[in-house]
């Protein structure tokens, strides 16, 4: 996969792209990451990429020309890349969206600053608008880093254990079950005995129930899109009854 980022502050990505899983993914040649300062495509000697909005108003808007030129310069193959605008008004980012983007060959992220973008960027350039939450950041860089990390870890061979992304929270529609490691007892706190039993059928059942309970207690809205067995439905009904007592 090739991932390109257009940013006014490319130096922000040095530490993130040069560390941890993203660094290993590049070393394994699972992904190519690049960052371009789109001031280079401003077309004027002052490298101006923003201007006042027509009709008045506070702040400055990113101009259409430099972003169009930068994307066109990066799009050198016949395959049309997904062009992603990081924006508070965009679609809320989810694990399902990460899995969708991980199937692409090429992604281009646009990271804005100031008051926003010329609307022609939204209407005629980008394919996706993504938000990482209902809040506003100084720019799109931190959001792009978040999305890129979430996508790259799903690429084949990036994580050491191929099952890891499958078992993550949200990948199954539920929050992940509790996990423990050695020692089996620490300061009087013990690992659940079922995990020490060696009975994998019982362990899987326990993990599913714990995942279900954690989701019900913390993010119950996720259960609306989860297929539950009759036994699991009875469990949830019992938890709700106990809560209301």
Contacts of 99 (CB under 8 A, 6+ apart): 154, 171
For the chain, give the longest Cα–Cα distance: 72
Annotated active-site residue in 81, 128, 141, 153? 153
145: helix, coil or strand? Answer: helix
Question: Is residue 13 a known part of a binding site?
Answer: no
- Catalytic: 153? yes
- Catalytic: 37? no
- Catalytic: 168? yes
Annotated active-site residue in 65, 104, 168, 176? 168
Question: Is residue 112 a known part of a binding site?
Answer: yes
Cα 166 from Cα 183, distance rounded (Å): 26
Annotated active-site residue in 115, 129, 149, 232? 115
Annotated active-site residue in 53, 82, 88, 232? 88
Question: Is residue 151 a known part of a binding site?
Answer: no
Question: Nearest CA to 148 among 86, 69, 79?
Answer: 86
Question: Is residue 136 a known part of a binding site?
Answer: yes
Pairing of strands 2-7, 82-92: unpaired
Question: Is residue 133 a known part of a binding site?
Answer: yes
- Catalytic: 218? no
Question: Is residue 128 a known part of a binding site?
Answer: no
Cα 46 to chain center, whole Å?
35
Q: Which residues are known binding-site members?
A: 112, 132-137
Q: Which residues are known binding-site members for S-adenosyl-L-methionine?
A: 112, 132-137
Residues with catalytic function: 88, 115, 153, 168
């Amino acid at each position: 996969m090739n991932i390109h980022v257009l940013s006014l502050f490319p130096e922000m990505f040095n530490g993130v792209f040069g560390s941890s899983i993203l660094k290993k993914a590049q070393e394994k040649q699972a992904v190519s990451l690049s960052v371009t300062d789109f001031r280079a495509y401003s077309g004027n000697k002052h490298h101006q990429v923003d201007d006042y909005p027509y009709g008045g108003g506070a702040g400055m808007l990113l101009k259409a020309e430099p972003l169009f030129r930068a994307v066109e310069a990066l799009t050198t193959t016949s395959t049309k890349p997904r062009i992603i605008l990081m924006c508070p008004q965009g679609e809320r980012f989810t694990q399902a969206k990460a899995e969708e983007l991980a199937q692409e060959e090429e992604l281009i992220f646009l990271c804005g600053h100031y008051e926003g973008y010329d609307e022609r960027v939204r209407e005629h350039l980008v394919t996706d608008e993504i938000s990482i939450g209902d809040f506003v950041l100084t720019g799109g860089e931190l959001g792009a880093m978040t999305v890129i990390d979430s996508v790259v870890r799903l690429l084949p061979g990036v994580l050491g254990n191929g099952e890891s992304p499958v078992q993550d929270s949200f990948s199954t529609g539920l929050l992940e079950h509790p996990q423990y490691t050695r020692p089996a007892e620490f300061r009087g706190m013990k690992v659940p005995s079922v995990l020490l039993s060696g009975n994998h059928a019982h362990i899987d059942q326990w993990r599913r129930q714990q995942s279900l309970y954690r989701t019900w207690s913390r993010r119950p809205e996720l259960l609306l899109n989860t297929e539950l067995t009759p036994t699991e439905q009875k469990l949830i009904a019992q938890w709700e009854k106990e809560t209301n007592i």
